[in-house]
Amino acid sequence: MSEDTVSDIKTNIYTLHERSQQTKSDLASHEAVCSERYKNIHEKLDNLSAIVTENNIQIAELHKIASESKMSFRTIMFIGTVVASIAGFVYTVMNIVNPQ
């Protein structure tokens, strides 16, 4: 082989080695970032799971209260309907008496 060929091969090997080292460095950085990201995602999922569990407990308690006191709920709905009807009547009368 000629010296030019050997020189070209050495240059190519050096270039490949440098690219390989850069890729190794980039991969290590990527792995570190992904590891931190995965840790954060895992923590958030754990927090979300705890919140969902707490919400399910509270919903079950509300269901129990609602099913134990259906008459009370009906009474509240009746009173709400009466109040809404009175408010609608007053609004209508005010618009009749004082049109804009």
Structural domain boundaries of the chain? 1-68, 69-100
Q: Is-above-0.75 flag for pTM?
A: no
For the stretch 45-56, pLDDT in tens is 999 999 999 999
Dist CA 73 CA 83 (whole Å): 15
Handedness of CA 55, 61, 62, 63 (dihedral sign): positive
Following DSSP, what letter does each residue of 45-74 receive, concatenated?
A: HHHHHHHHHHHHHHHHHHHHHHHHTHHHHH
One digit per residue, pLDDT tens: the chain, 100 residues? 678 888 888 888 888 889 989 999 889 999 999 999 999 999 999 999 999 999 999 999 888 877 776 667 778 888 899 999 999 999 888 888 877 6
**8 Å CB contact between 66 and 73:** yes
